[in-house]
């Protein structure tokens, strides 16, 4: 227990196979310039970031600052203009030879408003990835899906459609669907943005619970500082567009955490330290937006 209780800046060994954790991301000097009709817009500006395997890395920045561009580059949905991104020392993308990463089951995105297939039942959604990859038999996949859903408190909703359960449960189904692929990295794109704050607090604890069972690297985009400090090992505060790390802050509150963290002095101190930094960037983004408008 004491091993778990200490700060997980250097995460412990994975439970299974005894090997080192996988899922370290290295972002090296990445630049992304959007060029719609010749008007070059720089979204990401020489961004470098090292995320050790098994870390919860919270990317905090104002809306529209280019955080999602970075996430899309890692996921393989968009190209980058220059720089390199590695996963476990393997090159994901690096122009000119490889401007775009290949999307893969080792990096699964949990989207902003959720991207569960509404035409598939919850368990069919959860089983989708392994069915596509075809490594296991159908029976094995559904057995695994049932047990992993039960673990996440989703028993009884297997045969409902996503549209038939609450938005909180839906998010949980989506995280479980992502985990079924045994990814090295989970990429969260403001997944709890549309949830009310009470549901959000429940979702945060549920996410940590799932994380303690499956230590994957988490790249989590948010503009909610409370969420960022509560969940993260580290906060990466981004500048407004073009985006690059402005300051990286270690959250030295030991894991496992629960919601009592929010009333601790350390949490208050971290909040005080960061709120000014974030506010500054938000103001910049706001006035830049006004100029464009």
Partner 1 sequence: MISKRLTKSLFSRSNLRAVIAIFVFLVLWEVGSRSKDWFGFPMPWVGHVPPPTAVLVAWYGLLGDPGYWQSWYMSTLRVLAGFLAAMVIGIPLGLFMAVNKTFHGIVFPSFEVLRPIPPLAWVPASIIFWPTQELSIAFVTFLGAFFTIVINVLGGAKSIDPRFFQSAQSMGSSQWDVFRRVVLPATLPSIVVGSAVGMGITWEVVVAAEMISGGGGTTGSGGGLGFFIWNSYVGGSYEQIVVGMISIGIAGFVCSELLRKLGGYLTPWLRKR
* C-beta of 107 vs 255, nearer to partner 1: 107
Q: Which of 180, 183, 108 is closest to 145 using CA atoms?
A: 180
- State the nearest-atom distance from the C-beta of 92 to partner 1, in Å: 13
Tokens 């091993």, located at residue: 3
Q: Tell me: does residue 80 bind partner 1 (CB under 8 A).
A: no
165-184 mask for partner 1 (x: CB under 8 A)? ----------------x---
Q: Which of 36, 39, 46, 38 is closest to 80 using CA atoms?
A: 46
* C-beta of 106 vs 280, nearer to partner 1: 106
Distance of alpha carbon 266 from the chain centroid: 24
**What are phi and psi for residue 219, nearest 5 degrees?**
-105, 110
- State the nearest-atom distance from the C-beta of 280 to partner 1, in Å: 32
Count of residues that interact with partner 1, criterion CB under 8 A: 24
Q: Which of 42, 91, 105, 136 binds partner 1 (CB under 8 A)?
A: 105
Of the listed pieces 101-109, 193-201, 202-210, 245-253, which binds partner 1 according to CB under 8 A? 101-109
Q: Which of 161, 193, 282, 289 binds partner 1 (CB under 8 A)?
A: 161
Tokens of 55: 């870390």
Of residues 113-142, which lie at the interface with partner 1 (CB under 8 A)? Answer: 115, 117-120, 128-129, 132-133
SS3 44: strand
Of the listed pieces 79-87, 103-111, 238-246, 275-283, which binds partner 1 according to CB under 8 A? 103-111
* C-beta of 34 vs 111, nearer to partner 1: 111
- State the nearest-atom distance from the C-beta of 180 to partner 1, in Å: 9
Half-sphere exposure of 25 (CA within 13 A, CB side): 30
Q: Quick check: 181 and 108 in contact, CB under 8 A?
A: yes
* C-beta of 140 vs 258, nearer to partner 1: 140
H-only helix segments in 152-255:
167-180, 197-213, 225-231
* C-beta of 86 vs 111, nearer to partner 1: 111
Tokens of 279: 């506010």
- State the nearest-atom distance from the C-beta of 76 to partner 1, in Å: 8
Q: Which of 114, 113, 78, 110 is closest to 188 using CA atoms?
A: 110
Q: Tell me: does residue 68 bind partner 1 (CB under 8 A).
A: no
- What are all long-range contacts of 138-141, with beta carbons under 8 Å and residues at least 24 apart? none
């Amino acid at each position: 227990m004491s091993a778990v209780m200490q700060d997980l800046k250097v995460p412990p060994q994975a439970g299974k196979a005894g090997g080192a954790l996988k899922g370290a991301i290295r972002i090296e000097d990445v630049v992304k310039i959007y060029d719609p009709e010749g008007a070059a817009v720089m979204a990401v500006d020489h961004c470098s970031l090292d995320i050790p395997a098994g870390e919860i890395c919270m990317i905090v920045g104002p809306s529209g600052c280019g955080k999602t561009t970075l996430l899309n580059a890692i996921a393989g949905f968009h190209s980058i203009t220059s720089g390199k991104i590695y996963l476990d020392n393997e090159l994901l993308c690096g122009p000119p030879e490889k401007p775009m990463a290949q999307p893969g089951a080792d990096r699964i995105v949990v989207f902003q408003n959720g991207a569960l297939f509404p035409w598939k039942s919850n368990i069919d959604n959860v089983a989708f990835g392994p069915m596509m990859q075809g490594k296991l038999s159908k029976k094995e996949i559904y057995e695994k899906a049932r047990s992993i859903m039960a673990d996440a408190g989703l028993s009884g909703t297997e045969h409902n459609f996503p549209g038939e359960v609450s938005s909180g449960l839906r998010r949980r189904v989506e995280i479980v669907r992502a985990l079924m692929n045994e990814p090295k990295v989970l990429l969260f794109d403001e997944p709890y943005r549309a949830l009310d704050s009470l549901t959000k607090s429940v979702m945060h604890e549920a996410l940590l619970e799932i994380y303690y069972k499956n230590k994957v690297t988490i790249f989590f985009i948010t503009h909610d500082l409370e969420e960022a400090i509560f969940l993260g090992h580290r906060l990466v505060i981004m500048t407004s567009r073009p985006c690059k790390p402005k300051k990286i802050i270690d959250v030295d509150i030991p894991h496992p955490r629960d919601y009592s963290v929010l009333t601790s002095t350390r949490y208050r101190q971290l909040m005080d330290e960061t709120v000014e930094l974030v506010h500054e960037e938000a103001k910049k983004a706001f006035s830049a937006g006004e100029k464009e408008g």
